Structure 1
Amino acid sequence: MIKLAVQDVEIERCFAVMRQLRPHLQAETFVATVREMMGQGFQLAFLQDSDAIACVAGFRIQHSLVAGKNLYVDDLATDEAQRSSGHGAAMMAWLRQLAKDAGCNEIHLDSGVQRHRAHRFYLNRNMDIVAHHFSERLND
């Protein structure tokens, strides 16, 4: 089940998985930082498997001159212990549908050049590499 983190306790529960991607984050400031970003359009989604958070995605719906209305994925992380279980694929499918429902033309994300496994994951989901920037056209 994927849902948006809207309550502080939900945001806090996402910290452990998000920190696997962003190790500089601190538990003491995580909720306040996310809340501040939410004021700028950031949203945090999580996939719960049993009682554990298995996958998180930070994203925003935005407009840009290059892409028009698009969904930009700031962060996408699956718990190391639960990788290759389909959670990341489920989150990407959920984000794709959310973007389509919102009238977005594309999905965008950036990934560090050293993250080869992540690149393979994105490429397997029909995303294109554009100067190390990933995008997916949502209209046929």
Structure 2
Amino acid sequence: MIEIKELQLKEDIIGAFPIMNELRSHLDVQSYMELVQEAMEKDMYHMVALYENGEIVAVIGYKPMITLYYGRFIWVCDLVTKEDKRSKGFGEELLSFVENWAKDNKYQAIALSSGLQRTEAHRFYEEKMAYDKVSYVFKKLL
């Protein structure tokens, strides 16, 4: 049985850590919780999990934004499926959930970035989900 649920309770967010840690391996539980809670409070960050038979197998994090370039849009911050559960449509389910949320809330687009090395993810976004590659993302540590 598949269930999709927004995570708001601390114990649910902590329960998603092992899956999110597959994508964000630089985080420990404490820094993860601090960042998620601050992002939820200050940045309208949403975290949604897909459960298979009561177990979290995929997680997506997103936030509504407004910029002059995109207008009103959703930025997908995180999307990860548990390694042994990949290629079963769970990422597609979660990204479609966010697309529907965006439409229902009158957002015009969805954007995300994906690491240069993640060629399988790029194929998923472009071929399976019909996303266009429109830019490079640049980063500078301060």
TM more than 0.5: yes
Measure how far apart 1:19 and its partner are. Answer: 0.5
What SS does structure 2 have at the residue aligned with 1:76?
Answer: strand
What value does the CA root-mean-square deviation take over the aligned residues? Answer: 1.1
State the one-letter code of the partner of 1:122: Y
Could you state the TM-score of these two structures normalised by the residue count of structure 1? 0.91
The structure where strand makes up a greater share of residues is: 1
Residue deviations 1:68-109, cap 9 Å, x none? Answer: 110100000000010011101101110110010110100000
Corresponding residue for residue 34 of structure 1: 36
Equivalent residues of 1:70, 1:108 under 8 A apart: yes
What SS does structure 1 have at the residue aligned with 2:133?
Answer: strand
C-alpha distance in structure 1 between counterparts of 2:70 and 2:135, whole Å: 15
Identity %: 32
Corresponding residue for residue 54 of structure 1: 57
Could you state the TM-score of these two structures normalised by the residue count of structure 2? 0.90
Are 2:127 and 1:127 aligned? no
Residue deviations 1:6-55, cap 9 Å, x none? Answer: 00011001101100001001013322221111112111111011121111
State the one-letter code of the partner of 1:98: W
C-alpha distance in structure 2 between counterparts of 1:30 and 1:102, whole Å: 27
Q: For structure 1, list consecutive stretches of 5 or more residues without a partner in the other structure.
A: 134-140
C-alpha distance in structure 1 between counterparts of 2:5 and 2:24, whole Å: 21
Q: For structure 2, list consecutive stretches of 5 or more residues without a partner in the other structure.
A: 138-142
Are 2:85 and 1:77 aligned? no
Corresponding residue for residue 136 of structure 1: none
> Of 77, 80, 92, which aligns to 1:89?
92
Between the two proteins, the alignment pairs up a number of residues equal to: 133
